[in-house]
Amino acid sequence: MTTRVVLAMSGGVDSSAAAQILLEQGYEVVGLFMRSGETEEETCAVESGSVLPVINTASHKQGCCSASDAADARRVADRLDIPFHAINFEKGFDRIKDYFADEYIAGRTPNPCVMCNNWLKFGKLWDFAQQVGAEKIATGHYAQIKPIDTINQLGDNYSAEKQQGENELGLFRGVDPGKDQSYVLFGIDPDLLKNILFPVGSYQKSEIRELARKTGLRVADKPDSQEICFIPDNDYVGFLKRYRGEQETAGELVDTAGAVLGHHNGYEKFTIGQRRGLGIAFGEPRYVVEINPDNRRVVIGLKDDLACGQLLANRLNFLVKPDKTCFNADTKIRYRHTASPAQIELMDNDEMKVTFETPQNGVAPGQAVVLYNGDRVLGGGWIDSGNHFNV
């Protein structure tokens, strides 16, 4: 019997090529486009339990996950002759918008892509799959899920004795190092790994574009999206004002000793490690090293002040649970960060301390810290604190 797979289709080249790869592998593919806001009546909400094909993707309301993207996804589905649905996930996206706005107002740097994966793409997507009788879900992420040799691939940090002989699955980096997206997938429910497929993860990006061209897909040369889907103009400050209204966020720019250097008109406009747009000219490069929402101060320092030897993280999720409370791992503190060796200490209250072998620059509260053993994702958590200058 053919295995049915629900594929999240964004209208981009990766998920479109994923559909073709799944078909070639013999799966029965059902395409699903996730809308982020209220749309036409023909688009339904997954909470209702009803599933209807999208009738019209030409019209567009503010807040939709691009009507043009929906149209591209629909054309790909038509080309490949697979069923296509568009579902209104407005409630789910509202939760992500709330998180995004709340984090910035709290002086933190949010990562909505990770939350979208946790709550929607591998949450609501799986709910939808079960409604339509699918056994698998798939996305266009550049990552891999593979069987592992638990003895050889877990390393000395884990006890493999009880797992010997098991056909365990693990989450691994994508083959293309420039496109690898395993970092944003650390929050997946480990019990769901057996139901997930990443068809493009074993390909280079150039190979995916070439496959799309050979298949005759119009999206073969479509640029990769660089925007947050619910902020299509990339103006997150404007989004915060529209979504949360005017907030009292103006305050002082200070150095690491607390001396006032100047003033800013909103701490939400700054991120840890930022160098440009500080509003003050210095004789040497200066960086944002801390944001304090309590007194609305933005702390400016030298590059050395960015260096962080330790961080604390909470809200942990492990795809393979360590058997030790202290162990070593490679760590990434942001999506484009080069993994750095560190010692991990698991603590009470669902927290962990990460001590880097070499201090790392730009540790930003609100971002994820993800742990690796080679190419395998072990798990991760959310950075709660790094440097503190108490100013």
- CA quadruple 72, 73, 75, 79: dihedral positive or negative? positive
Q: Which of 102, 139, 99, 143 is nearest to 123 (CA)?
A: 139
3-state secondary structure of 152: helix
Cβ neighbours for 269, distance < 8 A, ≥ 6 positions apart = 237, 277
Encode 244-259: b = buried (16+ Cβ within 10 Å), e = exposed. eeebebebbbbbbeee
Exposure of 358 in the CB half-sphere (CA atoms within 13 A): 7
Question: What is the rounded end-to-end Cα distance, in angstroms, of the chain?
Answer: 64
Do residues 194 and 169 make contact, with C-beta atoms less than 8 angstroms apart?
yes
Tell me how far apart the alpha carbons of residues 271 and 108 are, in angstroms, rounded to a whole number: 8
Residues with catalytic function: 116, 229
Q: Cite the DSSP H helix spans in 11-66.
A: 13-24
